[in-house]
Structure 1
Amino acid sequence: MGKRIKARARGKGGPRYRVPSHNWAGKVEFYLSKNISYGIVKDIIHDSGRNAPLSVVKFPDNTVKLHIAVDGIKVGDKINYWDGLSLGSVLPLSKIPEGMKICCIETFPGSGPKLCRSSGTFATVLGKIKDKVRLMFPSGKIKEINENCLAMIGVPAGGGRFEKPFVKAGQNHYKSLARGKFWPVVRGVAMGPVDHPFGGKTKPGIPKSVSRHAPPGRKVGSISPRRMGK
Structure 2
Amino acid sequence: MALKSYKPTSPARRGLILVDRSSLWKGKPVKALTEGKRKTGGRNNKGHVTSRGIAGGHKQRYRYIDFKRRKFDAPATVERLEYDPNRTAFIALITYEDGEQAYILAPQRLAVGDTVIAAEKCDVKPGNAMKLSQMPIGTIIHNIELKPGKGGQIARSAGTYAQLVGRDRGMVIVRLNSGEQRYVLGTCMGTVGAVSNPDNANQNFAKAGRTRWKGRRPLTRGVAKNPVDHPHGGGEGRTSGGRHPVTPWGKPTKGARTRKNKQTDRMIIRSRHAKKKR
Short-chain TM bin: 0.7 to 0.9
1:145 aligned residue (169, 173, 184): 184
Structure 1: 5+ residue runs without aligned partners? 1-5, 210-217, 224-230
* Distance in 2, Cα, partners of 1:222 & 1:87: 41
Structure 2: 5+ residue runs without aligned partners? 1-42, 254-278
Q: CA deviation at 1:174?
A: 2.1
1:46 aligned residue (78, 83, 86): 83
Task: Go from structure 1 to structure 2 and tell me whether the alpha carbon gap of 1:136 and 1:193 turns closer, same or farther (over 3 Å shift).
Answer: closer
Provide the alpha-carbon RMSD of the alignment.
3.3
Contact map agreement 2:108 2:193 (CA 8 A) in 1: yes
- Please tell me whether residue 26 in structure 1 is matched to residue 64 in structure 2: yes
Greater Cα shift, 162-171 or 186-195:
186-195
Deviations 1:99-154 (A, max 9, x none): 11000011121011111001111111101112100010001100111111111111
Task: Go from structure 1 to structure 2 and tell me whether the alpha carbon gap of 1:190 and 1:153 turns closer, same or farther (over 3 Å shift).
Answer: same
TM-score, scaled to structure 1: 0.75
- SS where residue 62 of structure 1 aligns? coil
- Please tell me whether residue 113 in structure 1 is matched to residue 147 in structure 2: no
* Distance in 1, Cα, partners of 2:162 & 2:184: 12
Report percent identity of matched pairs. 24
Task: Go from structure 1 to structure 2 and tell me whether the alpha carbon gap of 1:94 and 1:222 turns closer, same or farther (over 3 Å shift).
Answer: closer
Partner of residue 170, structure 1: 209
Greater Cα shift, 111-120 or 196-205:
196-205
- Please tell me whether residue 133 in structure 1 is matched to residue 172 in structure 2: yes
* AA of the residue aligned to 2:71: S
Partner of residue 190, structure 1: 224
Partner of residue 77, structure 1: 114
* AA of the residue aligned to 1:62: G
* Distance in 2, Cα, partners of 1:115 & 1:204: 42
* Distance in 2, Cα, partners of 1:125 & 1:21: 39
After TM superposition, what 4+ stretches of structure 1 lie above 6 angstroms from structure 2? 18-21, 203-209
Contact map agreement 1:31 1:65 (CA 8 A) in 2: no
Partner of residue 67, structure 1: 104
Contact map agreement 1:29 1:65 (CA 8 A) in 2: no
* AA of the residue aligned to 1:122: Y
Task: Go from structure 1 to structure 2 and tell me whether the alpha carbon gap of 1:30 and 1:38 turns closer, same or farther (over 3 Å shift).
Answer: farther
Instruction: Answer 1 or 2: which has greater helix percent.
Output: 1
* Distance in 2, Cα, partners of 1:220 & 1:58: 51
Query: Alignment length, in residue pairs?
Result: 204
Partner of residue 212, structure 1: none
* Distance in 2, Cα, partners of 1:19 & 1:85: 39
